[in-house]
Chain A
């Protein structure tokens, strides 16, 4: 019963349609940034290496290499500051957390691209 109440409370601040992407996808995260009065969109591009948490507390971590230095940003999935998450490429991965990428440099960082988009095939299957 307590869980029902928590779900009810969390639902109010959750997105109805959370952005769709998977671990290993290369994504553009569009974040809204408020500069004084003006609102600006900033894009963070990288590979989704982890998703954790549930409900409003769910977050995802995006990793990219900037000037030879690894940079990771963790975004709350349901944050209203995230305008959208655009999937650029999908990678072939066999685990839920891609922390092994942290130990890799250079060409080894690349993930094999997934040719068939699983989401698209899912939609086709529904048809």
Chain B
């Protein structure tokens, strides 16, 4: 399968490399993940591997969540007798479930996938949900420059400037950047250098920042950036 894994952002710190240079790193608790399902072209129309990360207490999981990961006793089992059984992972219900696109060669349902799949990988992409900032002005949201502090500017120092012209188009173009909801959106950080893979403690250290708060879930995959 394509190298991909689910994890949790632990936090940032810094390390020293061989030359004594400081390297900023993000610590990600990556895996172990169970393969919950395999998507095939015949059945689903596309190929992917579904992974689950972080156990959820059974009492908190719904019956469908429990049934997704393990074979449950069912009253209607007799009625369905003869129908082929879908393979189940046979693990605890999971909190965070995502699919990694790509062929499922060499992967079986129930298999455990660990960080060592990244051990010969130079760089990864990390996908997470960025920190929500609520309603934010155009300066914070779009890095606009705002207006001057003096020279006749009154009470509009952090405002956007003109948003359109009078004769043409005499309306505001669609998609014009303004203030509004900022953050809490799927964000991908591409081509983050892998600093260290700690298979023993299921840790992945990447250079630089990763979207989301500490404790937030992330998807890690081998980078799709070429060159």
Contact = CB atoms under 8 A, between A and B. Distances in A.
Interface of A: 2, 5-6, 8-10, 12-13, 32, 34, 55-57, 76, 78-81
A9 B205 contact: yes
Given A32-B20, A56-B13, 5 more contacts: A6-B13, A9-B15, A56-B15, A76-B16, A76-B22
Contacts of B10: 2, 5-6
A10 B15 CA distance: 7
What secondary structure prevails in chain B residues at the interface with A? Answer: strand
Given A9-B203, A9-B205, A76-B22, A2 B16 contact: no
A13 B29 contact: no
Contacts of A76: 16, 22
B16 A13 contact: yes
Nearest to B29: A5
B129 interface: no
B83 to A, nearest CB: 43
B146 interface: no
A77 to B, nearest CB: 11
Interface string B1-33: 000000000110111100110100101010000
Contacts of A80: 16, 20
Contact of B14 (A2, A32, A57, A81): A57
A32 B19 CA distance: 10
27 contacts: A2-B10, A2-B11, A2-B215, A5-B10, A5-B201, A5-B203, A6-B10, A8-B201, A9-B15, A9-B25, A9-B198, A9-B203, A9-B205, A13-B15, A32-B20, A56-B13, A56-B14, A56-B16, A57-B13, A57-B14, A76-B22, A79-B16, A79-B20, A79-B22, A80-B16, A80-B20, A81-B20
